[in-house]
Structure 1
């Protein structure tokens, strides 16, 4: 598999809330998503694409001047990035957090010594607990597109970040695998993937979750393969189809042969099969808590002075 990267910049865990903004919900089969993530964890290897995106996202840390004392990596087993965060912030305390109890339990199972040492970074991080300090940086790599309630996940991030701290995340954008979408649509095979959220809507969701000054951009990556079997193998290593509108029923060898034949239509002038992947990046800061405004609001002078003292430059 080969990649080309033309950049295009631009300005399950927890209880469900009773009211969720429509824009903060990703149409996703949550049970299928949990099943696929648990399957990926069994390999004890961070998915190949996640490792690549983690390296690209780490380069963006240079734009943030604040040096965090506490770094929180959300969903680290599948998102990766621990080595990059250690290199960027060697003096910080590093913590991990996994929203899904099932995934955390599976992550904590005994693992092969070599893999365990590589992933844990020789015990350089600890699992977050209620007594853990708030993070000046929360890192989430290739996690958000697995979440149906994306607004709820962002709110969880916001609650874990210190005032003046920031979140940096990456996820899959709606133009990803558009070539496959067309093939599946032409043949009436149902949806090949969920309708992932546009970066502008993700930025709006960050504001609703309580973050400030969100900056969003995206990158289109061209993935190519010499054979359709390799394409299917690599896509399976990223997960599976979690779209609610996917075609139901078990797949047969005949179905696989049909898919392999259809994929041949993806060959370009260079003779290689090609797919587009859109990666969305975002970061935002956590500002001072806002006062609830009523018809009449009383604020003590001491409280106002305290808020001013807590204000830190970015």
Structure 2
């Protein structure tokens, strides 16, 4: 495998996300990809939305030049109208460098498990999405690496995902952030290993452990497989003119209420 395990998984999950979008009807002029990375999904997005502009928040370790080259090789027509910024900038500011109501589709592949509070991400997606826009996303759920958590090995210093949300947590958060018609889904992927050091390398790549190496004698008790829980979801930005609901009641801005005139009723 020439790709790293994280690159392979991002590519694989992006492909599955796009398959789930096959039945979605959406007029797309502007796309936000976060995190943005070179992958086969770029060609699929190009074919599906040939006139769309793309805005990317690039993954750590991926340079703007790498993204430029990946899109140029795919003949991405909106290449010179596109914009990229580093994921580190978003992490520090909590903001996308985009105006309100400027995006039709947010495509987020395997990011949310690495954010301290995904609600801030949802708020930003709501802000930049246009009325009727769509957010589609995937992330690793809390059952990821469950085989390792049942072991009692002092040298194995595991850590939880930064955001261990299951799909029910996410569904509740989408509702509280005013997204509509959310659809959540989940599946388990199992990776098999012939050597324990390969397993540990992938566990480290998924940010599931500290970087402390294990003794050879300890590695012999490691499981030969690793489970990944992948959560998928999408939700719509509908009713953006409504004020945020309180106590399950939506409050409408008075400016949104039109007065019926005599000529209207004629």
TM-score bracket, shorter-length normalisation: 0.7 to 0.9
In the alignment, structure 1 residue 191 sits paired with structure 2 residue 183: no
In the alignment, structure 1 residue 304 sits paired with structure 2 residue 257: yes
Unaligned runs of 5+ in 2: 85-96, 260-266
Q: CA deviation at 1:133?
A: 6.5
Which has more helix, going by share of residues?
1
Unaligned runs of 5+ in 1: 2-42, 267-272, 307-314
Q: Between Structure 1 and Structure 2, how many residues are aligned? A: 235
Q: How does 1:114-125 map to 2 (within 5 A)?
A: 117-118=69-70, 121-122=74-75, 124-125=78-79
Change (3 A) 1:148 1:54: same
- For 2:207 and 2:126, locate their aligned partners in 1 and report how far apart those are by CA, in whole Å: 29
Q: CA deviation at 1:209?
A: 2.1
In the alignment, structure 1 residue 257 sits paired with structure 2 residue 238: no
Q: Corresponding residue for 2:175?
A: 207
CA contact 2:145–2:208 (8 Å) conserved in 1: no
After superposition, give the CA deviation of every residue in 1:240-298 in whole Å (9 maximum; x if it has no partner): 336xxx6xxx735xx242442121xx2xxxxxx2221110000000011214689x988
Q: CA deviation at 1:166?
A: 0.8
Match of 1:97 among 57, 61, 71: 57
Please, what is the CA RMSD of the aligned residues? 3.4
Change (3 A) 1:89 1:155: same
Secondary structure of the structure 1 residue equivalent to 2:189: strand
CA contact 1:46–1:78 (8 Å) conserved in 2: no
CA contact 1:206–1:284 (8 Å) conserved in 2: yes
CA contact 2:199–2:226 (8 Å) conserved in 1: no
Secondary structure of the structure 1 residue equivalent to 2:185: strand
Secondary structure of the structure 2 residue equivalent to 1:62: coil
Secondary structure of the structure 2 residue equivalent to 1:96: strand
After superposition, give the CA deviation of every residue in 1:92-143 in whole Å (9 maximum; x if it has no partner): 2222135x9xx5xx644655xxx75125645644226445971111100001
Q: Corresponding residue for 1:86?
A: 46
Match of 1:170 among 132, 138, 162: 138
CA contact 1:72–1:95 (8 Å) conserved in 2: yes
- For 2:37 and 2:218, locate their aligned partners in 1 and report how far apart those are by CA, in whole Å: 31
